[in-house]
Amino acid sequence: MIEIKGTVKQYAWGGYHYLPMMLNSGFGNEPTAELWLGDHKSGSATLIDGSPLSKWIEAAPEYRLGKGLVLRYGCRLPYLFKVLDVREPLSIQVHPTIEQAKKGYKREVSKGISSDKRSYHDDNHKPELMLALSDFYLLHGFRNVTEAVEELSKYKSLHELVELYSGVGIKGFVSLIFNLPKSNLDKLLTPIIEANRSAYNQNEISKSESLFWFMRAIARIERDQMELDAGLLMIFIMNLMYVSKGDVVYQDAGVPHAYLEGQNIELMANSDNVVRCGLTPKHVDTRELLEITDFTPITPETVEGKKGLDGSTDYIVPADDFALREYKLEKGQSLATPEDKGACIWFVLSGEVKLDNQQHYSSSGSAFYQRPGEVNVFRAISDAVIYRASASTN
Ligand SMILES: [Zn+2]
């Protein structure tokens, strides 16, 4: 097994402390949003000598990824492992299926669309799984119609919209709000903002209410002098989900979602394809959004872990590209890493471990790359929690 170093992304919505503490990298003035452990061209991890993991894999793909993975997914890791620190809400987004991604990528490349206006940065799908590392809030899929109508009806300025919503259904409603002239959007939203500003500022709105996240989005829009956008109305018709530390949520292609607050591990197919649905100053491709979104209401649920005989927990989701396994090791315990036909990435979340082929100790934020067929032993110096990402060749 070789040690690898993640690549850090400094997006504006990130936190200031969580990732720098985990990586022991010192605090700066820029927020640190994401740690990427994978070989994606937008941010490959590196080997200890600083050279990109992507190049190292490309030099001997069958030996380093495994024949099965190369045949099924090509000469790149099938998955991308991330750690996120969400201080401010991210944009609402939807990810494509493989077919949609292939079509979309080809179309955007052939049209020569500049990268800041692109939704497709590669030709892969991006189902994703998240494991909460703290209390975590997110928007996840559409509410059923009764709940959405009930939520919208709380606000007098939206009463006309409620009637429309009942008439045109979810897709019709989303199409309508994303095509509203800005002046109409202002008229609908300004009364809600003014009526709730002081309650929000005095902490009188609970995080369990959609209104809290609406007002939090407004606070950011006002601070950054952004325009009101239709994503603000999406907050009322999407499920607001709270999960606690250790809970896992799966987001399939087509399910709109937005991370609102907290820290998590995110494991996804190796892609950066995002079609945005508001709460963002970035480009929203409304046509594509209507094309790839699944408008069926869903009831949010968490993914149950399945315990293995070796004390591991598997989080099984309907995606072959990635699988997440958790090990909680007690001080002094050893773990022989199971052999795998494909490449695995190991990540130390907490505690301290020592790998049998290394001299030094590894603590939170450390990561390792396991080649196909390789076996190693982790020894827990203190209680430790480690994760393994792998892929299926089925
Ligand atoms: Zn996403």
SS (H, E, C) 74-129: CCCCCEEEEEEEECCCCCCEECCCHHHHHHHHHHHHHHCCCHHHCCCCCCCCCCEE
266 C-alpha to ligand 1 centroid (Å): 9
199 C-alpha to ligand 1 centroid (Å): 31
pLDDT digits (tens, 9 = 90+) for 38-64: 999 889 999 999 999 999 999 999 999
Q: In whole angstroms, what is the distance from residue 285 CA to residue 150 CA?
A: 29
Q: Is the model's pLDDT at 283 over the cut of 80?
A: no
pLDDT digits (tens, 9 = 90+) for 85-94: 999 999 999 9
336 C-alpha to ligand 1 centroid (Å): 33
pLDDT digits (tens, 9 = 90+) for 152-164: 999 999 999 998 8
335 C-alpha to ligand 1 centroid (Å): 32
Q: Is the model's pLDDT at 150 over the cut of 80?
A: yes
Boundaries of every domain in the chain: 2-139+242-283, 146-237, 305-390
Q: Is the model's pLDDT at 394 over the cut of 80?
A: no
272 C-alpha to ligand 1 centroid (Å): 9
338: which 2 tokens? 């199971």
Contacts of 232 (CB under 8 A, 6+ apart): 185, 189, 214, 217, 218, 278, 279
Q: Is the model's pLDDT at 280 over the cut of 80?
A: yes
For domain 2-139+242-283, give the CATH number: 2.60.120.10
Taking residue 247's Cβ as centre, other Cβ atoms within 10 Å add up to 18
- Give the pLDDT confidence score for residue 47 in this predicted structure: 97
11 C-alpha to ligand 1 centroid (Å): 15
196 C-alpha to ligand 1 centroid (Å): 29
pLDDT digits (tens, 9 = 90+) for 206-231: 999 999 999 999 999 999 999 999 99
**Which CATH superfamily, name and number, covers 305-390?**
Jelly Rolls (2.60.120.10)
Q: Is the model's pLDDT at 166 over the cut of 90?
A: no
- Give the pLDDT confidence score for residue 300 in this predicted structure: 95
- Give the pLDDT confidence score for residue 309 in this predicted structure: 87
Which residue, 249, 271, 276, is CA-closest to 98?
Answer: 271
Same fold yes or no, 2-139+242-283 and 305-390:
yes
- Give the pLDDT confidence score for residue 119 in this predicted structure: 87
170 C-alpha to ligand 1 centroid (Å): 20
380 C-alpha to ligand 1 centroid (Å): 33
For 221-228, which contacts have Cβ atoms below 8 Å and span 24 or more sequence positions? Answer: 224/281, 226/281, 227/182, 227/281, 228/182, 228/185, 228/186, 228/189
95 C-alpha to ligand 1 centroid (Å): 7
R_g (Cα) of the chain, nearest Å: 22
165 C-alpha to ligand 1 centroid (Å): 26
- Give the pLDDT confidence score for residue 48 in this predicted structure: 95
94 C-alpha to ligand 1 centroid (Å): 6
Q: Is the model's pLDDT at 184 over the cut of 90?
A: yes
Q: Is the model's pLDDT at 194 over the cut of 80?
A: yes
245 vs 284 pLDDT, higher one: 245
Percent of the chain with pLDDT over 70: 100
Q: In whole angstroms, what is the distance from residue 261 CA to residue 207 CA?
A: 10
Q: 281-295, 316-330, 353-367: lowest mean pLDDT where?
A: 281-295
- Give the pLDDT confidence score for residue 357 in this predicted structure: 84
84 C-alpha to ligand 1 centroid (Å): 11
